[in-house]
Amino acid sequence: MANQYYKLETSAIELMTRKQFSEAIPVWRNALEKDPSEGRAHLNLAYALIQTGQPREALAEYRKACDLSPEDPLAFAESALAMAQAGAPEEAISYYRKSLALDASNAGVQADLGALLSEKGAAAEGIEHLEKAVALKPESAAVRYKLASALLTAGQTGEAIAHFSKAVELAPDSIEFRVGFADALSRAGRLSDAIAQLQKSIDISGGQDGELVRNLRARLASYEQAQRR
């Protein structure tokens, strides 16, 4: 039976590697019929289900995976991410907490939980987790950006600007980070600096016509109009 399981697992992993998720699903199901206690197989099946637009079925598999692997922090973290994306934020928060209870050193999990808490209105706790994430991974532009965004939402504009600035320094070609930085600068009344960030974003984009550039130009025009008042 074990040999049959591992043959099916190998086949399913090969299909997943080729992004043939629909084809992988029945292979994972067959493998789990041979050995339903394999938590990692439930995780892989769940991921394939997510990729094929079956979130409800995927969440059921994620829950099974965590039940079978209660000491695996990554199982809880992967499940939490999927739950958040599937519109189950409260359950996601619970699973993120379980992951961190097993391993608090994962900066990505700290950041994801912090961002989700901030989105749900628990700003102080969210910022606390995001600050832990930055302490664990200070050179991560994405983590800095998440902290900056949470600080800005909480009205801590000065601190947000400092972290947006660092995020842009770490990832100078990120339009998303520069637009967030520009927003914070504009709220602080630093319109010239905000305009400079948007202009740089347009330059990075290549200035080609498209929805992104049109949105950037519209925002730039609004800042320039505010500056002339």
Instruction: Write out pLDDT tens, residues 177-186.
Output: 999 999 999 9
b/e map of 30-42 (b: 16 or more CB within 10 Å)? ebbebeeebbebb
The three-state (H, E, C) secondary structure of 174-222, written as one string:
CHHHHHHHHHHHHHCCCHHHHHHHHHHHHHHHCCCCCHHHHHHHHHHHH
Say which CATH topology domain 1-103 has: 1.25.40
What is the rounded CA–CA span in Å between residue 226 and residue 188?
13
Burial annotation 14-29 (CB, 10 A radius, 16+ → b, else e): ebbeeeebeebbebbe
pLDDT exceeds 90 at position 72: yes
Q: Is the pLDDT of residue 207 over 80?
A: no
Average pLDDT, integer, range 63-75: 96
* pTM for this model (two decimals): 0.88
Q: Model confidence at 84, in pLDDT bands (50, 70, 90)?
A: very high
CA geometry: angle 35, 100, 73, nearest 5 deg: 20
User: pLDDT confidence of 1, banded at 50, 70, 90?
Assistant: low
Overall average pLDDT of the 75-98 stretch: 96
Q: How far apart are CA 182 and CA 159, in angstroms?
A: 14
Task: Give the phi and the psi of residue 3 in degrees, each rounded to 5.
Answer: -65, -40
Q: What percent of the chain has pLDDT over 70?
A: 99
The CA distance from 9 to 171, in Å, is 38
